[in-house]
Amino acid sequence: MNNKIDLKFLLAVALVILSIASRFLPLPPNFSPIMAVALFSGVIFADRKIAMIVPIAAMFISDIVIGLHPTMLAVYLSFAIIALLGMRMKSINAKNVVGNSLLAAVIFFVVTNLGVFAAGWYSYTLEGLTTCFTMAIPFFRATLASSVLYSGILFGGVYLAEKFAFTATAPAIEK
């Protein structure tokens, strides 16, 4: 194995572990880095399978501990779509990161609330669908905030690492 593969693998493992750990922190509902991890994975990992496995593995492993639920498939589908969104990012700059973070939050909101509606938590009427989405609005605020905040941390961290840590030249070794 070459060092690039090792670093990417270690990054994937670290993202999964940190994402799992975040689900056990006393954070507000829907305030989680996993959505940002899904977007980031789509950008960072060239292998689409790995990009999708990272956030879904984090969710599944933590769901086993926290408890399985009827909307899991909708949640996992939303993270797969968000990873695909990351794969489509042409360039990484503040505008793209913020814009795609906001779009990721909207995707999560729509897909997961359609999952809640489909699971029968509300009547299968237009009024039931409207109530489902209306009741989710308070959670959406935390989703938006966490998506932008954690995406900023992940993408900003890579930017700073590339700018400062990986561009420094090694001192010359005298013989």
How many Cα neighbours within 13 Å face the side chain of 169?
Answer: 3
Output the domain CATH number for residue 81: 1.10.1760
- List of E strands, the chain: none
- Cβ contact 115:103 at 8 Å: no
Whether residue 14 is contained in a domain is answered as: yes
Block residue for tokens 């292998």: 47
pLDDT (mean) for 130-135: 98
Block residue for tokens 């909207």: 106
Read off the pTM.
0.86
Q: Which domain holds residue 87?
A: 3-165
**Number of domains, the chain:** 1
pLDDT value at residue 166: 59
Q: Which two tokens stand for residue 9?
A: 């693998």
Block residue for tokens 């501990």: 65
Segment 69-89, tens digit of pLDDT? 999 999 999 999 999 999 999
State the helix-helix crossing angle for 48-66 and 3-22, rounded to 10 degrees: 30
Reported as a pLDDT band with limits 50, 70 and 90, residue 175 is very low
Whether residue 171 is contained in a domain is answered as: no
Whether residue 23 is contained in a domain is answered as: yes
Whether residue 175 is contained in a domain is answered as: no
Whether residue 161 is contained in a domain is answered as: yes
Kind and range of the H or E run holding 162: none
- pLDDT tops 70 at residue 168: no
Whether residue 170 is contained in a domain is answered as: no
pLDDT value at residue 3: 53
Whether residue 54 is contained in a domain is answered as: yes
pLDDT value at residue 15: 86
pLDDT value at residue 33: 93
- pLDDT tops 50 at residue 25: yes
Whether residue 153 is contained in a domain is answered as: yes
